Structure 1
């Protein structure tokens, strides 16, 4: 396997014609090609306990599936899907080299294994001078950090436009082109060329995208139900009716700047809200709770199957013991006896570890509080700007811009601008925190690569969780919940701050949550795709068009860092949170995610095959810490969607009115609007809340209306909550408990019903272990027989003489 290292001109070897050193076309950069011969590969394959084939598998691949012809258009050629036959494998042992199926030494170790071995050696190779006694100067990473070498990378196969039997060409032709978006992914070929870690990522991304199809279909059905029931929405009809909604005058939504307004001015937003806030919302929220369980359980089964097929079943212990980070070995000066290997090894003392952990935790907490402070600033912006928008738009119904004023309400204008400001803040904080997270993770000096990635994953996800979702949590669970009532409004920083807490949009808070979700989720995906497209365009623009060497072409490509997959996972897990935590407010979110992921798979494949240098192959038997994060998000999503349906949606109040408070022989929603609005005496309105301009509206008995369930003026308990309010609150809490228990019971039942490891995989693992023991036993027996036969040599009998002693007994003598 060739590995290329790029050296600075000042460090150019003495003789440019040395074997393995090539001058570049620009005469400024020098390349050192490294090749590992068979002896080196075999030695380190033994050290790393790499599994290699010893017998071709005799277990059938799979059984014929009925109607298999339906899936034929989505399938790839067999030679692409399975570039090599299935084998039973065993850890490589150099002393038992004839035990393994070695047909060709040049191709026995796959490319990913060869470049992993070479990089493993380079990471631990000392480079100090003979007169230097410092033994910690070793590893290619240190040479890269101090600028001795500018880069080190494995070489790609030939160009993707060369129609030859190379693995890279097959990947480009069958995987990286967008026209193949409906085809299955050649996971075995990806694993063979790039390694198991990248293969697991694309397997997970493909499986996630396939499961999104079912969620997207159900979301479209629920949205279609909202569209088809559009004309049957009696609530919106009452709001738009001039005799009902046109005769209801509402209290000002802010102090001084906001005027009185009529309920029918929110006709359009009421219709829009119905598209997402209908009976299908409850069903879809429960469906997504079960869908996420099926997704995680079926992925565990798929992951177990890949673990077996890719020889990763016993990889966890191997990785923990062997793949220690060179940075840990270099920076940890203390040593102690390793209880497992009985060799003195570097370690980080507990006091130092605790100190670094505390500093890291404080840093993460500081940045999370910084996000909360920014969100608070956005809320203050919403409170302050709403009055300005209300002042600008208060006369719109009487002017020629009536249509614009109806479409762009003060609530909508405030919500949209605040969402965009919040999105800009999210992107800025992301830019800075990514660098901070890497710095504090490096400071903790994790021992293994796995530990490093897990620590960085938890830090980044905690930050991203607060950064991306805090604004949605505010709109869903806080906005409009602590408003008070006319004459006793609640203010954010006290009454004299003049920042009155926001009320929900007249169409309901759910439509505002939908707006927030669409802007943040879509904006993140669009910005990410634009950023990748511009970066790839700029890099391809800089690349030379003439023909030059393979290593120079690879050097001009983008470097795929060790954390490259980390950002890919992070992007998808954040998206997963959007489509699960708040999906009750926007059933079309899975459809948007599906469209994005179909494009994401092919864009990532195109980047790997054409835009990135070939990454150093690495092993991974699962998706790491992301699995636990997905499990936590899945559990939390059941709770958030139950609260959204109960407290953000108007579904529960409508059902309580329909079955408990409707007066009439037929249960309909007629009269719901009048029932859901409380009455306030306009003569009691405080001076602070009185509009600066605008005549007192002509309303029946000079009463204003507002959204709440309170007793009217003149009642002995005026402006206190009615019994209907407590009935609705009890119904909301009951719904949360029922929905959570139903979904969780189904989740646990499904998790129990579906085993994490398929029975077929268990049988294969047992058979392979049995065969390893049997074949090794037979191999040792045969080897012992050969050794015995070679050591037992029959020599010819020497000449003898006979004699008779004095007793007459014959004896032999030499």
Structure 2
């Protein structure tokens, strides 16, 4: 405990005690000492929980401890793999990977000490359990009681400023082991074998992470490591698809037609904006068509199907991995026994009404009227902020529509007849897309910073009952906001851009304003613009996130400990060093999950537009694991250990994103389906020859109104209106003079039907794979089921024998 006032530490007890905390009427804490920092203003109270305290609360919390060595051998060991030496570089020493033997465990019972395997009471409870017990007591210890109010909890004292902070100490300095040979240096081992970047190819010491930081942090790193491993397969397939597109340039018939002087050079395209845009030749988009082919080819369809299967396998195999961890870390049935019955101190403090609970008897509760009012206000706030995001996205779209004409006017003198000139690389479409993506990214970052505070405030206002409920409510609010914030611009490009354009002579305008004509896609498709959007937002977020996670804590720690560094190390105590570190906070892990789940959305929802996205995510996550490890071991105070049997609400969010990704991947983003429809239904020789001409409709220039017609001087010098009487545009419509003039052709409806059919087929394939995997590979491995049954049987048998031979 850290405080500024010399008498503050004495108030956290009953009866005016000076050297013990006694919320249960007896001495349960011992004060190891009260020290003052070098500035003579900050005081430290070191608290130690003796064996009696630990045993009492281990019984209360039903903490599982070993009572017998596990007699069921694993049926599979990595050492049994042929050519085992290949895996040696990826392993860590046994003393790091397996800090504890494998035991059967049972909930601790203070009255049956002899039943458990207790060699040394000082080390029987691991560090994470010890600091969890201490914090559990402090969070419920009363310090002021009146007829009207019962004040309790270290959290309340921290909020009102009585104490500055309360944290468990690290066991040693991270760069060298403890001087005490009898004391373990787990922090040093974690830094040496886990937190250093050059260990990126090594396995993670999950058991040691769990022992030092607790199960909740341990399961996060287990999930992150498993996700990173699975990304390797997606990254390899995505890279192969990208290389396929790169090496099949010469087979790209439609790009050759666009770049050809005989075909693309003779196709005159209609203006892309009113008045300020002139007529242009199709071959001016030669470079963008080649670039689009790298991401939009036959491999795109295959990769989209593969990712639908991959995401299903990832979620199913993670359930098995999670089930194994639940057993190994004694988390089976934890949620029901612990999290659903433990009320948040804030809930107990703010809810003054009482009612009967059949499980916990009398407990505080929030009246229904108050609960409904708070929920309504919370929902209204979330809707307001989501509306604000949508308004910002509409603003960015309006920017795209407004500046496109300006870019087109500026670039009208660019040499478009030479596909190798730099001017043809920087097209109005590309300039508009890049600048709009950068502006959108800045808006995303600003709104994120603002909404984080709002989300925490409205969640606190709802007064959730348990810690689990609090995290779930905050998770839903934050993800819903982040989903709209990060993905809305990508959804616009993938699903709306180029879909509501109208046609020459009858264009559609945003809000009916004649200066904001809806955007058209490049003749090569909108996919390259979606790729640009995805690369900028995804890469920018990952770079910004790593800078925030690594650089900001380091700078703040360097600044905060600048005075202490001038003193000899002997005068810079362990508690002062830890106090100068950053506080991890109870939402620290929440932001780590949120970052990874948003990344998961990028690589599943729109991965067909950018097959290299899994590779970028893989490289980022390899760094992310070590950056997070480095943060925990060097830059943050040791967090209070807590339990979690799973990744919580994030599991359902991942399932929802996986289902949505089936719809978004190929159907309306890629142009492969229109090409396949042309090849099999409209091509005479099952080739792509003539596809470009087939995909462009014809419009009579005389049909342009004055509002649409290019101004004098805007069209290029080669354009002669007396010779050129028609222009082409991207759509499937009947030409002028046809009985269904400018209405959609049958080919348009065939393509739409093919896209819808692909959605249904791919959805069914994904679900069939999901059910097949779930049927073939159950969520809980048979080995784990056998161990759980064996453990329960032994507990019953051993307790029976214990009662017979050692009666009370």
TM-score by length of 1: 0.92
What's the counterpart of residue 25 of structure 2?
none
Q: 1:682-732 deviations in whole A, cap 9, x for unaligned?
A: 122211111113358248652111111122222232222222222222222
Q: 1:107 aligns to what SS in structure 2? A: coil
Instruction: Pick one of 88, 91, 106 that aligns with 2:107.
Output: 91
The worse-fitting range, judged by mean Cα deviation, of 259-268 and 133-142 is 133-142
Instruction: Pick one of 383, 406, 413 that aligns with 1:395.
Output: 413
Does the CA contact (< 8 Å) of 1:48 and 1:322 recur in 2? no
What's the counterpart of residue 430 of structure 2?
412
Q: Whole-Å Cα distance in 2 between the matches of residues 747 and 266 of structure 1?
A: 42
- For the pair 1:499 / 2:516, whether they are aligned, the reply is yes
Change in 2 beyond 3 A, CA 1:576/1:398: closer
Q: Whole-Å Cα distance in 1 between the matches of residues 107 and 745 of structure 2?
A: 74
How far did residue 429 of structure 1 move?
0.7
Q: Whole-Å Cα distance in 2 between the matches of residues 296 and 143 of structure 1?
A: 42
Q: 1:80-133 deviations in whole A, cap 9, x for unaligned?
A: 11101111111111111111111100001110000000001101111127xx54
Q: 2:732 aligns to what SS in structure 1? A: coil
What's the counterpart of residue 285 of structure 1?
304
How far did residue 745 of structure 1 move?
1.8
Q: 1:536-576 deviations in whole A, cap 9, x for unaligned?
A: 33124222324110000000000010000000000000000
Does the CA contact (< 8 Å) of 1:652 and 1:728 recur in 2? yes
What's the counterpart of residue 697 of structure 1?
719
What's the counterpart of residue 678 of structure 1?
697
What's the counterpart of residue 181 of structure 2?
none
Q: Whole-Å Cα distance in 2 between the matches of residues 535 and 56 of structure 1?
A: 45
Q: 1:420-449 deviations in whole A, cap 9, x for unaligned?
A: 111111111111110000000001111111
Q: Whole-Å Cα distance in 1 between the matches of residues 161 and 191 of structure 2?
A: 34
- For the pair 1:568 / 2:592, whether they are aligned, the reply is yes
Q: 1:726 aligns to what SS in structure 2? A: helix
How far did residue 203 of structure 1 move?
0.3
What's the counterpart of residue 175 of structure 2?
161
Instruction: Pick one of 486, 493, 496 that aligns with 1:468.
Output: 486
What's the counterpart of residue 38 of structure 2?
25
Does the CA contact (< 8 Å) of 2:699 and 2:735 recur in 1? yes
The worse-fitting range, judged by mean Cα deviation, of 351-360 and 277-286 is 351-360
Q: 1:616 aligns to what SS in structure 2? A: coil
Correspondences of 1:480-491 after superposition (within 5 Å): 480-491=498-509
What's the counterpart of residue 158 of structure 2?
144
The worse-fitting range, judged by mean Cα deviation, of 707-716 and 405-414 is 707-716
Q: Whole-Å Cα distance in 2 between the matches of residues 12 and 319 of structure 1?
A: 30
- For the pair 1:646 / 2:667, whether they are aligned, the reply is yes
What's the counterpart of residue 448 of structure 1?
466
Q: 1:654-699 deviations in whole A, cap 9, x for unaligned?
A: 1122122123xx3221111111111111122211111113358248
Instruction: Pick one of 102, 108, 120 that aligns with 2:136.
Output: 120
How many residues are paired up? 772
The worse-fitting range, judged by mean Cα deviation, of 65-74 and 264-273 is 65-74
How far did residue 163 of structure 1 move?
3.6
Q: 1:352-399 deviations in whole A, cap 9, x for unaligned?
A: 111111111111111111111111111111111111111101111279
Q: 2:66 aligns to what SS in structure 1? A: strand
Q: 2:106 aligns to what SS in structure 1? A: strand
What's the counterpart of residue 558 of structure 2?
541
How far did residue 328 of structure 1 move?
0.6
Does the CA contact (< 8 Å) of 2:32 and 2:45 recur in 1? no
Correspondences of 1:320-719 after superposition (within 5 Å): 320-342=339-361, 344-397=362-415, 403-494=421-512, 496-542=513-559, 543=561, 544-545=564-565, 546=567, 547=569, 548-641=572-665, 645-663=666-684, 666-694=685-713, 697-698=719-720, 702-719=725-742
- For the pair 1:203 / 2:222, whether they are aligned, the reply is yes
How far did residue 528 of structure 1 move?
1.1
Q: Whole-Å Cα distance in 1 between the matches of residues 162 and 681 of structure 2?
A: 79
Q: Whole-Å Cα distance in 2 between the matches of residues 332 and 464 of structure 1?
A: 31
How far did residue 734 of structure 1 move?
2.0
Q: Whole-Å Cα distance in 1 between the matches of residues 741 and 198 of structure 2?
A: 67
How far did residue 12 of structure 1 move?
7.2
What's the counterpart of residue 50 of structure 1?
63
- For the pair 1:242 / 2:258, whether they are aligned, the reply is no
- For the pair 1:741 / 2:764, whether they are aligned, the reply is yes
Q: Whole-Å Cα distance in 1 between the matches of residues 748 and 273 of structure 2?
A: 24
- For the pair 1:296 / 2:315, whether they are aligned, the reply is yes
Does the CA contact (< 8 Å) of 2:245 and 2:294 recur in 1? yes
Q: Whole-Å Cα distance in 1 between the matches of residues 7 and 521 of structure 2?
A: 67
Q: Whole-Å Cα distance in 2 between the matches of residues 177 and 235 of structure 1?
A: 50
Cα RMSD (Å): 1.9
How far did residue 78 of structure 1 move?
1.1
How far did residue 13 of structure 1 move?
6.7
Does the CA contact (< 8 Å) of 2:68 and 2:104 recur in 1? yes
Q: 1:608 aligns to what SS in structure 2? A: helix
Does the CA contact (< 8 Å) of 1:190 and 1:198 recur in 2? yes
Q: Whole-Å Cα distance in 1 between the matches of residues 157 and 70 of structure 2?
A: 44
Q: Whole-Å Cα distance in 1 between the matches of residues 213 and 724 of structure 2?
A: 77
Q: 2:806 aligns to what SS in structure 1? A: helix
Instruction: Pick one of 43, 54, 66 that aligns with 1:41.
Output: 54
Change in 2 beyond 3 A, CA 1:141/1:12: closer
Change in 2 beyond 3 A, CA 1:756/1:660: same
Query: Which protein is bigger by CA-based radius of gyration?
Result: 1
Does the CA contact (< 8 Å) of 2:287 and 2:419 recur in 1? no
What's the counterpart of residue 811 of structure 1?
none
Does the CA contact (< 8 Å) of 1:7 and 1:32 recur in 2? no
The worse-fitting range, judged by mean Cα deviation, of 745-754 and 310-319 is 745-754
Q: Whole-Å Cα distance in 2 between the matches of residues 41 and 668 of structure 1?
A: 76
Q: 1:759-791 deviations in whole A, cap 9, x for unaligned?
A: 00000000000000010000000013xx7xxxx
Does the CA contact (< 8 Å) of 1:678 and 1:707 recur in 2? yes
How far did residue 7 of structure 1 move?
4.0
Q: 1:504 aligns to what SS in structure 2? A: coil
- For the pair 1:5 / 2:2, whether they are aligned, the reply is yes
Q: 1:177-209 deviations in whole A, cap 9, x for unaligned?
A: 011100000000000000000000000000000
Q: 1:183 aligns to what SS in structure 2? A: coil
How far did residue 400 of structure 1 move?
11
Q: Whole-Å Cα distance in 2 between the matches of residues 322 and 715 of structure 1?
A: 73
TM-score by length of 2: 0.93
What's the counterpart of residue 752 of structure 2?
729
What's the counterpart of residue 791 of structure 2?
768
Does the CA contact (< 8 Å) of 2:378 and 2:458 recur in 1? yes
Does the CA contact (< 8 Å) of 2:284 and 2:419 recur in 1? no
Change in 2 beyond 3 A, CA 1:515/1:96: same
Correspondences of 1:94-109 after superposition (within 5 Å): 94-109=110-125
Q: Whole-Å Cα distance in 1 between the matches of residues 554 and 800 of structure 2?
A: 58
Does the CA contact (< 8 Å) of 2:51 and 2:121 recur in 1? yes
Q: Whole-Å Cα distance in 1 between the matches of residues 599 and 458 of structure 2?
A: 26
Q: 1:579-616 deviations in whole A, cap 9, x for unaligned?
A: 00010111000000000000000000000001000000
Q: Whole-Å Cα distance in 1 between the matches of residues 325 and 293 of structure 2?
A: 45
Q: Whole-Å Cα distance in 1 between the matches of residues 286 and 782 of structure 2?
A: 58
Q: Whole-Å Cα distance in 1 between the matches of residues 580 and 294 of structure 2?
A: 51
